Amino acid sequence: DAGVIQSPRHEVTEMGQEVTLRCKPISGHDYLFWYRQTMMRGLELLIYFNNNVPIDDSGMPEDRFSAKMPNASFSTLKIQPSEPRDSAVYFCASSPLGLPGLALHFGNGTRLTVT
Amino acid sequence: GENVEQHPSTLSVQEGDSAVIKCTYSDSASNYFPWYKQELGKGPQLIIDIRSNVGEKKDQRIAVTLNKTAKHFSLHITETQPEDSAVYFCAADAGANSKLTFGKGITLSVRP
């Protein structure tokens, strides 16, 4: 089991550019989550999917953020256009259980820096 | 919504001593309380969890206790080792919809 795989590990971009973060969940996990981590706000849930369908996107900060899950083994989080305040570590997590949020398996994150 | 708080934000202990990390929550409907450990450069990792129908759960050197009346739960680490140094997050679900709300985390340092 390779765990949740995220790419890239680090992303540095200029304000206004489009950023795409990628995630491969653990095979067989029905739930996929995108979290953002900052010193000020801690871990924030942005959106989660169940069986590839977005269930709750109330944590997505603005329309500049969008997430997709075209199949059970791949998800993307896109920021367009990016802003310096989007700088954070973005985590993808998946869960094998019947309820969201239980036994989360996190990836190692993508550290995004927007200059 | 659920509000989860951890205090203090840092804790330093001597190797071999015990460490206790406390967490409070606000939603009386919450019934699932996990603890996550985050090492530098990695994602959080689930280390232990407890449900509201039990008061204590133990796994080797770590244990979690829950007081539903007071709405707080604690992580206990015995015989601490340098590799226990990390950031520890508590979390609570939001009752029926079961989304997790995380605390801000506490940095544990184990001095050799």
- For residue A98, the model assigns a pLDDT of 67
Residue A99 has pLDDT above 70, yes or no: no
- Over pLDDT 90: what percentage of chain A? 85
- For residue B1, the model assigns a pLDDT of 74
At A80 the three-state DSSP class reads coil
Average pLDDT over residues A93-114: 88
Give the nearest partner residue to A104 out of B41, B46, B105, using CB atoms. Answer: B46
**CA–CA min distance B16, chain A (Å):** 29
Can you tell me the distance from the alpha carbon of B6 to that of B1, in angstroms, rounded to the nearest whole number?
17
Q: Is the dihedral of CA A78, A79, A85, A87 positive or negative?
A: positive
**DSSP code at position A25:** P
- Over pLDDT 70: what percentage of chain A? 96
> What token pair was written down for A59?
């944590």
Give the nearest partner residue to B41 out of A99, A101, A108, using CB atoms. Answer: A108
Can you tell me the distance from the alpha carbon of A115 to that of A13, in angstroms, rounded to the nearest whole number?
6
* Burial state string for A74-103 with b = 16 or more CB within 10 A and e = fewer than 16: ebebebeebeeebbbbbbbbbbeeeebbbb
Mean pLDDT of chain A: 94
Q: Which of B4, B6, B23, B46 to mutate against chain A (most A CBs within 10 Å)?
A: B46
- For residue B96, the model assigns a pLDDT of 60
For A60-88, write each residue's pLDDT tens digit.
988 999 999 999 999 999 999 999 999 99
Residue A3 has pLDDT above 70, yes or no: yes
- Considering only residues A70 and A100, tell me which one the structure prediction assigns the higher pLDDT: A70
* pLDDT lower than 70: segments of chain B: 96-98
Residue of A nearest to B92 (CA): A101
Query: Partners of B46 in the beta sheet?
Result: B36
B8 touches chain A (CB under 8 A): no
A25 touches chain B (CB under 8 A): no
B103 touches chain A (CB under 8 A): yes
Give the nearest partner residue to A99 out of B34, B42, B98, using CB atoms. Answer: B98
- For residue B36, the model assigns a pLDDT of 97
Neighbours of A68 (CB within 10 A): 15
| Residue B40 backbone dihedrals phi, psi, to 5 degrees | -60, 125
> What token pair was written down for A43?
């871990």
A34 touches chain B (CB under 8 A): no
Average pLDDT over residues A43-61: 93
B100 touches chain A (CB under 8 A): yes
Can you tell me the distance from the alpha carbon of A24 to that of A3, in angstroms, rounded to the nearest whole number?
9
- For residue B97, the model assigns a pLDDT of 59
- For residue B2, the model assigns a pLDDT of 82
